[in-house]
């Protein structure tokens, strides 16, 4: 069993004693750790699910959300490096996919262990963003999702708008972070990458396939029923994919610290 102290950057974190690896999960813009609340039960005792709670949401609602990628990377590196005793993988949905990719790069820059696997969902490969055709803005997409959530919770129109008002500062900060991002070319990652999308996702298939270019490791892609927010119902096929990808291999040692990229 790990004796490492729990990180304040995690929520709904219930580590099973028998887990051999961790899965750090990063949400979409405006999203929170509760998106991954059910994943520990779904994935079982071999993988420790670590839902990352970013500032400005749920139990960190009083903290100002971060608008700059470098500050976000400092925070995320601290969250991952605070739990150094097990190998780990990264999962990100939408904005979380961008953060997970840049986190893998930031860990390499600092000479820290590499992820076992990078899982990304519903986000264009970062090198394609500059030439992407016009799509709905991050803010508009997530406002619509917040309103859908209010309806799903049977909130009155007034209560739904109050919830949206509480989230607005976080949505605007997340939107600023995504829309100010500029891809910086560099050496590819070396870990396997799996890229997912919904069949009705606004992220096209070719932009999902383009994640292949960002790592020399194995690459796989899979499409699920649903739209950009297909994760909201925790697709069984996705959980099965994660479980298959994170089977412990006796010959695979804990990833060693990497040489910082210079």
Q: How far apart are CA 76 and CA 22, in angstroms?
A: 14
Q: Determine phi and psi for 250, rounding to 5 degrees.
A: -55, -30
- Answer for the pair 120, 193: CB distance below 8 angstroms, yes or no: yes
Measured at the alpha carbon of residue 210, what is the angle toward residues 209 and 214, in degrees to the nearest 5? Answer: 125
Q: How far apart are CA 93 and CA 27, in angstroms?
A: 5
In sequence order, the 6+-apart residues with CB closer than 8 A to the CB of 41 are: none
H or E segment and range at residue 219: strand 219-224
127 burial (CB, 10 Å; 0-12 / 13-18 / 19+) is middle
Catalytic residue, candidates 7, 32, 94, 194: 94
Is 7 in the active site? no
Q: How far is CA 108 from the centre of its chain?
A: 18
- Answer for the pair 180, 197: CB distance below 8 angstroms, yes or no: no
In sequence order, the 6+-apart residues with CB closer than 8 A to the CB of 57 are: 30, 31, 32, 33, 65, 167, 170
H or E segment and range at residue 120: strand 118-121
Give the closest residue to 58 by CA, choosing from 146, 160, 166, 152: 166
Which residues are identified as catalytic?
94
């Amino acid at each position: 069993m790990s004796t490492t102290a729990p990180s304040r950057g995690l929520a709904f974190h219930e580590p099973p004693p028998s887990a051999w690896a961790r899965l750090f999960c990063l949400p979409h813009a405006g999203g929170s750790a509760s998106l991954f609340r059910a994943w520990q039960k779904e994935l079982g005792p071999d993988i420790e699910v670590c839902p990352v709670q970013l500032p400005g949401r749920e139990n960190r609602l009083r903290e100002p959300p971060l608008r700059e990628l470098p500050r976000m990377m400092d925070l995320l590196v601290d969250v991952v490096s605070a739990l150094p005793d097990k190998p780990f993988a990264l999962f990100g949905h939408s904005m979380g996919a961008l953060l997970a990719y840049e986190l893998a790069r930031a860990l390499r820059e600092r000479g820290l262990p590499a992820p076992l696997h990078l899982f990304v969902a519903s986000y264009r490969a970062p090198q394609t963003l500059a030439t992407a055709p016009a799509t709905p803005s991050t803010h508009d997409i997530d406002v619509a999702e917040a309103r859908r959530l209010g309806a799903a919770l049977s909130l009155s129109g007034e209560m739904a708008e109050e919830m949206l008002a509480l989230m607005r500062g976080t949505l605007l900060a997340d939107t600023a972070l995504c829309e100010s991002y500029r891809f910086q070319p560099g050496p590819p990652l070396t870990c396997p990458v799996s890229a997912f999308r919904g069949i009705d996702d606004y992220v096209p298939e070719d932009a999902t396939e383009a994640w292949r270019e960002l790592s020399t490791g194995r690459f796989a892609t899979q499409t699920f029923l649903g739209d950009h927010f297909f994760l909201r119902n925790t697709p069984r096929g996705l959980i099965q994919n994660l479980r298959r990808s994170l089977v412990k291999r006796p010959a695979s040692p804990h990833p060693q610290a990497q040489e910082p990229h210079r």
